[in-house]
Amino acid sequence: MNRLICARVLLKNATCGAFQSTRSRWRTIATASNNLQSTGSESTPQHYDIIIVGGGMVGTALACSLGKSSRLQDKRILLLEAAAGFKQPSGEQYSNRVSAISKGTYRLMQSIGAWDEIERTRVKPVLKMQVWDACSDALITFNYDDLSENISWIVENDVLLASIYRQLATVPSVDIRYSAKLAACELIRDGAAKSTVQLASGERLCCDLLVGADGYNSLVRRQMGVHNFTLAYNQMGVVATLRLAAPRTADNVTAWQRFLPTGPIALLPLNDEMSSLVWSTGVSEAKQLLQLDAGAFVSAVNAAFNKPVPRNTMVDDVMKSVHMLIKTTTGQRLESAPVVEAEVPSSRAAFPLGLGHTSTYVGQGVCLIGDAAHRVHPLAGQGVNLGFGDVQALTDVLASANYAGLGVNNLNELVKYEQQRLKHNLPVLLTTHSLQRLYTTDFVPTVALRSIGLTLTNALPPVKKFLMNFAMS
């Protein structure tokens, strides 16, 4: 309850207080910019209505969504991607980077025509999720009655991107440029008549709206000059593709997550025989895991899911009383995660984890989406879903503005996108950050309180359904 109250307070401040002061400072300042270097040519830069910087999953989805909108058919759109070309997903081996797709993202993929392509390639529905605490008997499960609906879908990032690109190839109003590394950009706040970008090749392009989808090291965001709050968790996410031992859980439709004192470990189903690992842990332990041979790594994974963790007797006594009531109410018991048999060769990797949020998403002729605007811990699987939520919201706002004759760079309309996304992104960011802090400690009072809270929440189906629907919206 306190967390929800804090979220509402921060949302109010975000839309009418602290964020507004930051926004007003930079949006009203016009200064000369020396960022763009002369190319030796005085020709007018080529003009597009919208330029999207960053051809990852979120940037590509935005290009496709805008290009397929019936109310934006008159707009020319350019997608800039620094890579030399699009890499097709492997037809033989699963990628080690996957996403848990929410229902909101599912609807977006359907609307742009990518979902059928995803289903023809590889996707695994998730019907149930079990989350439990290694330091106590607390657990919670998420599923619809009688497993009647999917709570999410596990899709490889490569498959997701490839499916969107195939749809994008059919959109005539969208151009794609590969090897188009952004060197600099100039915004209207810098005194430019239009948002202008300069590529590493020296070519200059201008647009009515510049969209930064260039990740958490966004050059577009830096040029906006807005404050970007960042926090390093001193953790890394270890990922791998794993083969399950027989006998396996029927159909492998459950996602498993255990909170260890060092961070959560999760198994996400890929098919009936394989799952994807996401193990968040300290940097030193992550580096040690990367150095293990295949057999030792598999043993470490199985131990992380099943090995008992030292517990405090006070926590156990409290939970015994709570569980006596809960078991008679729900009848739920802790199920064992599937045993891992082997690791797919060369699938192990790691990446740093952190938190990030920019004070302002939009400005005159510019806006941010995805990791350029926000970055969250992967423990709730919300990172890419937040980005796809940005895509849907920005598409709707720009389509409505253009239909009303306001164009695509009207600041008042762009602020509607920002406000809409803040209402969703901030609660998710605060919740995931709070969970990360709450579940990376074995401090006895904290363990007792979080265990009671998790167990009671599990016993209240309406609360669980609300949380599940919000996370998967």
pLDDT tens digits in sequence order for the chain, 473 residues long: 443 333 433 334 443 343 344 333 333 222 233 444 444 345 688 999 999 999 999 999 999 999 999 999 999 999 999 999 878 888 778 999 999 999 999 999 999 999 999 999 999 999 999 999 999 989 999 998 888 899 999 999 999 999 999 999 999 999 999 999 999 999 988 888 899 999 999 999 999 999 999 999 999 999 999 999 999 999 999 999 999 998 765 689 999 999 999 999 999 999 999 999 999 999 999 999 999 999 999 999 999 999 999 888 888 888 888 877 766 555 567 899 999 999 999 999 999 999 999 999 999 999 999 999 999 999 877 889 999 999 999 999 999 999 999 999 999 999 999 999 999 999 999 999 999 999 998 899 999 999 999 988 888 888 888 888 777 77
Structure-token pair, residue 222: 């830096």
Helix, strand or coil for residue 375? strand
Task: State the pLDDT at residue 250.
Answer: 65
The neighbour count for residue 341, using CB atoms within 10 Å, is: 15
Amino acid identity, position 248: R
Task: State the pLDDT at residue 308.
Answer: 92
Task: State the pLDDT at residue 461.
Answer: 82
The neighbour count for residue 355, using CB atoms within 10 Å, is: 17
Q: What is the pTM of this model?
A: 0.88
Give the separation between CA 77 and CA 73, rounded to whole angstroms: 10
Q: Is-contact 153 105, C-beta < 8 A?
A: no
* CB neighbour burial string for 161-170, b if at least 16 within 10 angstroms, e if fewer: bbbbbebbee
Give residue 396's region: left, alpha or beta (phi > 0; psi -120 to 50): alpha
Distance from first CA to last CA of the chain, Å, rounded? 21
| CA dihedral over 160, 161, 163, 167, signed as positive or negative | positive
Task: State the pLDDT at residue 64.
Answer: 98
Continuous H helices in 225-356: 283-291, 294-306, 313-330
Q: Is-contact 165 293, C-beta < 8 A?
A: no
Task: State the pLDDT at residue 24.
Answer: 37
Task: State the pLDDT at residue 112.
Answer: 97
Task: State the pLDDT at residue 327.
Answer: 63
Q: Is-contact 376 220, C-beta < 8 A?
A: no
Task: State the pLDDT at residue 472.
Answer: 72
The neighbour count for residue 173, using CB atoms within 10 Å, is: 18
**Nearest partner of 273 among 245, 254, 301, judged by Cα:** 245
Q: 178 pairs with which residues across the strands?
A: none
Helix-, strand-, coil-residue percentages of the chain, each rounded to 5: 45, 25, 30
